[in-house]
Chain A
C-alpha cells in the first residue's frame, strides 16, 4: 500500500514541472512517435527498408547497441566508490549514474528488438517456453547479463529511494552485496558484448583480444563524460547541490579512461598497419578507404580528432579545471566515442565481406528515425527517472509520516 503511494508520488513528480520540462518531454514524445511510425514501416516491409544488406548485415541499430552497453556499464564507476567507500561526494551523483544505466539498457534492448527480423518470435528466447541456447551462444549470454543488470540497476536505487522516501537510512547489509554484484556485472555486460564480436573468427577486425579492454576504456571515458554533462544541466536547472569536487573526480576518471583508450587505439592501429595483412583490409577500409570505397574515412578521422582534442583538454590540469572548457570537452569525448565505437566499429567488420567483396552501408531514413526515436525514449526515461530521484532526495516527495531529512 505504501509502495503504491510511493509510485503515485513518483508518477506525480515525473509529470509535473515547468514549461521547459514539458517542452522537453513533449519534443521527446514527438520524436518517439516518429520513430514508432518508422518502425511500423519496417515491420510491414521487412528490414529491406534499412540500409543493411547480406554483406553489411548489422548497421546503425547494433552500432548504437554496442555503444550504449558501454554507457550502461560506466555507471559502475560511480556506484562502487559511492556505496562501498562511502564517498559522500559520489553518492549524490550515483543516482544519476544509475539512471543513465537504466536508460541506456532500455535503449540497448530496444535496439536489439528493432534489429530482429522476426520480433514476433522473440518468445523463443524465453528459457522454458523457447530454446535458450545458453551457454553456447554469446548472444544468449548477452541477453542474460543485460536483463540482470537492468534488474540490479532498477532495484538498488529503488530500495534506496524508497528508504529515503520514508526518511530512513538504507541498511547497508541489505544493498551492499548487490552493489558488489552489480560492479562485477557491469564489467561483464561490456565484456560479454565485446566477446560477442571478438568471438567471431570470420571477422578479423573484431577478432582481437584487445576488444574487451578497449570497450571498457572507451565506456569509462564516455560514461562519466555524459554524467558530467548531465550534472551540469541539473546544477543549472534544479536546486540539487552537487559539489565541484564530484565533478572534478568524475572528470579525472574520464581523463584516465580516455588516455588508456587512446593508447589502445594506437596499439590497434600499429598492429593493423605496421605490416598489413589480409586481416587488415577492414582497418584499411575504415581509415584510408579501399578501392575507391571510403565512406567511413571522414567519419573516423573526425572522431579521432575530436577524441584527441578532448583528451588533450582533459589531460592538462588548468584546462580541465576551467568549467567553460570541461563541458564542451566532455561532450566532444562522448560524441567521439559514439562515432568510433558505434558505426566505426560495427560497419568495418563487414567490409570487405569474408569473401573480399566490398558493399558499403548507408543508413536510410527509417533507420535514422527509429534510432532517433529510441534515443529520445532513452532520454525520456532518463529525465523521468532523474526527476523522481531528485524529488525524493530533495524531499519534495516523501511519506507523510517520514521525519524531515537534514540534507
Chain B
C-alpha cells in the first residue's frame, strides 16, 4: 500500500525535481538607472566558466554561461546514488521517471552517449573522457562541429551582458534543449498595446 503510493508519486516528484530543460535565456533584468557599463548586472548573477579548448575571434579566450546553476536538481547523485545501467530504447519509452523530457535527438543516441553512467554528475565524450556539465558544449561539439566553430567565433549563439568587455556567450544548452534541440513551433510573441480609441482608423 505505502509502496504503491510512493511509486505513484515518484513520477510526479521527478517531474518537479528534474526540470533541467533550458528555460531560455535568463530573464532580462528590468532597466535600472545605474547600469554599470563594463559588467552589466546580468553578469553579476550569471556565473560563467572559461571555455576550454576553444578561443574566440583573435584567438582570445572567452567564457560560457554555466550549466549547473540552471539545472533543477543537480547534482544528479542526490537521487542516483548508484551508477545506473543502460536502458533499451523500448525501456526509455516506458520509463517511469524524467517524464518531462521530450527526446527528439538523433535516433542513434542513447542516454549513455552523453551521460556518464559511472558518475552521473558528469557527462562524457565518445572516447570516454569525462566532461563537466558546465563544459557540456564539448559534448555537443563532437557532432555539431561547424556550429561549434561559429559559436566560438560569434556567428552562432548568443552573447550575454553586452557587446563590450569580456566576452561571455550562452552555452549550447542555454538555448537548445539537449534532449530535443530543435526550436519548438509556437505562436509569435504578442506586443503590449492599449485599446484604440475613437479617433483612430
Direct contact of A and B (CB under 8 A): yes
**Which A residues touch B201, using CB under 8 A?**
48, 51, 53
Q: Do most interface residues of chain B lie in helix, strand or loop, or is the interface mixed? A: loop
**Which B residues touch A48, using CB under 8 A?**
199-201
- Restricting to A160-214, which residues have a CB under 8 Å from any CB of B? none
For B, the interface residue count at a CB cutoff of 8 angstroms equals 3
Residue of B nearest to A53 (CB): B201
Task: Tell me the number of A-to-B contacts counted with CB atoms below 8 Å.
Answer: 7
Residue of B nearest to A362 (CB): B201
Residue of B nearest to A41 (CB): B199
Residue of A nearest to B200 (CB): A48
A2 within 8 A of B: no
Q: Do most interface residues of chain A lie in helix, strand or loop, or is the interface mixed? A: helix
Shortest CB-to-CB span from B191 to chain A, Å, is: 16
Instruction: Give Cα A51 to B200, complex, Å.
Output: 10
Instruction: Give Cα A53 to B201, complex, Å.
Output: 10
Residue of A nearest to B199 (CB): A45
Shortest CB-to-CB span from B129 to chain A, Å, is: 51
Instruction: Give Cα A53 to B200, complex, Å.
Output: 11
Shortest CB-to-CB span from A63 to chain B, Å, is: 19
Shortest CB-to-CB span from A57 to chain B, Å, is: 14
A49 within 8 A of B: yes
- Restricting to B171-201, which residues have a CB under 8 Å from any CB of A? 199-201
Shortest CB-to-CB span from A169 to chain B, Å, is: 59
- Restricting to B29-67, which residues have a CB under 8 Å from any CB of A? none
- Restricting to A53-72, which residues have a CB under 8 Å from any CB of B? 53
Q: Mark B152-184, 1 if CB is under 8 A from A, else 0.
A: 000000000000000000000000000000000
**Which A residues touch B199, using CB under 8 A?**
45, 48-49
Instruction: Give Cα A254 to B158, complex, Å.
Output: 66
Residue of B nearest to A364 (CB): B201
A-B contact pairs, 7 of them (CB 8 A): A45-B199, A48-B199, A48-B200, A48-B201, A49-B199, A51-B201, A53-B201
Q: Shortest 3 CB-CB distances between A and B: which pairs?
A: A45-B199, A49-B199, A48-B199
